[in-house]
Amino acid sequence: MSAIVLFILMAVYESNQQDPSLDTNAWLEKYDKYRKIIEENTEITNEDNLTPEIRLHLITPRSKLWNAKSRDSPFKDSPFFAFYWAGGQGLTRYILDHPEIVKGKRVLDLGSGCGATAIAAAKCGAKSVTANDIDPLHCLLTDMNARLNNVAINITNTDFVSDMKIGTSDDWDVVLVGDMFYENPLAEELTEWLRLEKEAGKFIYIGDPGRYLFIAAQHKPGNYLEFITRYKLVTCVSIDMNAKINNVNIKITKDNLIAKTRNFTEWDCVFFGDVFYEFDMMKTMVLMMRKSCAKGTKIFIGEPCGIFRAYTMTNELKQVAQYTLPEAAEEMLGYGTTFISEFCC
Return residues touching ligand SAM (CB under 6 A): 84-85, 87-88, 110-114, 117, 132-135, 138, 159, 161-162, 178-180, 182, 186
Amino acid (one-letter) located at 143: D
Shortest Å distance, C-beta 133 to ligand SAM: 4
Query: Based on CB atoms, which residue is closest to ligand SAM, 88 or 304?
Result: 88
- Yes or no: say if 152 and 119 are a contact pair by the CB < 8 Å rule: no
Report residue 72: phi and psi, to 5°.
-95, 0
The residue (of 114 and 121) whose beta carbon lies closer to ligand SAM is: 114
Give the nearest distance from C-beta 114 to ligand SAM in angstroms: 6
Can you tell me the distance from the alpha carbon of 27 to that of 34, in angstroms, rounded to the nearest whole number? 12
Minimal distance in Å, beta carbon 208 to ligand SAM? 9
Which of residues 106 and 293 has its CB atom nearest to ligand SAM in the complex? 106
**Three-state secondary structure call for residue 295:** coil
Residue 73 neighbours by CB distance under 10 Å:
15
DSSP state of 234: P
CA distances (Å), 94 to each of 5, 23, 124, 150, in order? 14, 29, 11, 20
Question: What is the spatial distance between Cα 139 and Cα 28, in angstroms, rounded to a whole number?
Answer: 8
SS3 73: coil
Report the nearest approach of ligand SAM to the CB of residue 26 (Å). Answer: 19
In angstroms, give the least distance from the CB of 180 to ligand SAM. Answer: 5
Quote the least distance from Cβ 83 to ligand SAM, whole Å. 7
- β-partners of residue 273 are 302
DSSP 121: H
Pick the closer one to ligand SAM by CB: 155 or 293. Answer: 155
- Chain centroid to CA 170: 31
Which residues does 319 contact at the CB level (< 8 Å), separation at least 6? 339, 340, 341
Alpha helices by DSSP H, 113-185: 116-123, 136-148
**In the bound complex, what is the minimum distance in angstroms from residue 80's beta carbon to ligand SAM?**
7
> 136-148 and 34-41 helices cross at what angle (nearest 10)?
70
Minimum separation from the CB atom of position 336 to ligand SAM (A) = 26
Which contiguous run of DSSP H or E holds residue 86? helix 86-97
Q: How far is the CB of 98 from ligand SAM (least distance, A)?
A: 17
**Residue 142 DSSP class:** H
Of the pair 13, 84, the CB lying nearest ligand SAM is at 84
CB nearer to ligand SAM: pick between 44 and 321:
44
Q: Write the CA distances from 278 to 75, 255, 275, 308, integer angstroms.
A: 32, 19, 8, 10
Q: Which is nearer to ligand SAM, 88 or 167 (CB)?
A: 88
Residue nearest to ligand SAM (CB): 88
Cα–Cα dist 303/218, whole Å:
31
Cβ distance to ligand SAM smaller for residue 11 or 120? 120
- Judged by beta carbon, residue 182 or residue 311, the one nearer ligand SAM is 182
